[in-house]
Amino acid sequence: MAQVRSKNTTPEIAVRKAAHALGLRFRLHRKGLPGTPDLTFASRRVAVFVHGCFWHRHDCDRATSPASNVEYWAAKFDRNVRRDARNAADLRKAGWRCVRIWECETKDAKKLAVILRRKVVSMPKVP
């Protein structure tokens, strides 16, 4: 698992490119926020997490479970999901909107642009 990157992943870079193409400007991996969001749009107070379907248990084909050491993996996945929910709740308490983009949603650039327009661009700017 040491080879699994947490920053600058292929799906994250796809989201960055799509956001930049839409004219959005953002900060990366803001440490002062719960969960260290992958992208933050401060003017809209939107925090974006780009989640891998396998690690964060999305309801798609990529979220398979290993056949060996089942108890370990079940506990690990459960901890990941609980941590994600806790981080999202903490962000909401701090006045941020939390957006989750799944790895499988980053495969098609046009669909990703639609998702970003709907989840980020449509959010009003905070005065």
Of 103, 14, 47, which is closest to residue 38 (Cα–Cα)?
A: 47
**CATH, domain range 10-121:** 3.40.960.10
Does residue 124 register a pLDDT over 70?
yes
Does residue 3 register a pLDDT over 70?
no
* Model pLDDT for residues 53-106, shown as the tens digit of each residue: 999 999 998 888 999 999 999 999 999 999 999 999 999 999 999 999 999 999
Looking at per-residue confidence, does 107 or 123 come out higher?
107
**pLDDT band at 12; cut points 50, 70, 90:** very high
- Determine the angle formed by the axes of helices 10-21 and 109-116, rounding to 10 degrees: 60
pLDDT of residue 127: 72
Domain segments of the chain as ranges: 10-121
**Residue 50 bridge partners (DSSP):** 101
Distance between CA 96 and CA 62 in Å, rounded? 29
CB–CB of 18/95 below 8 Å?
A: no
CB–CB of 42/120 below 8 Å?
A: no
Distance between CA 6 and CA 65 in Å, rounded? 20
% of the chain with per-residue pLDDT over 90: 84
Distance between CA 10 and CA 13 in Å, rounded? 5
**pLDDT band at 1; cut points 50, 70, 90:** low
pLDDT of residue 63: 85
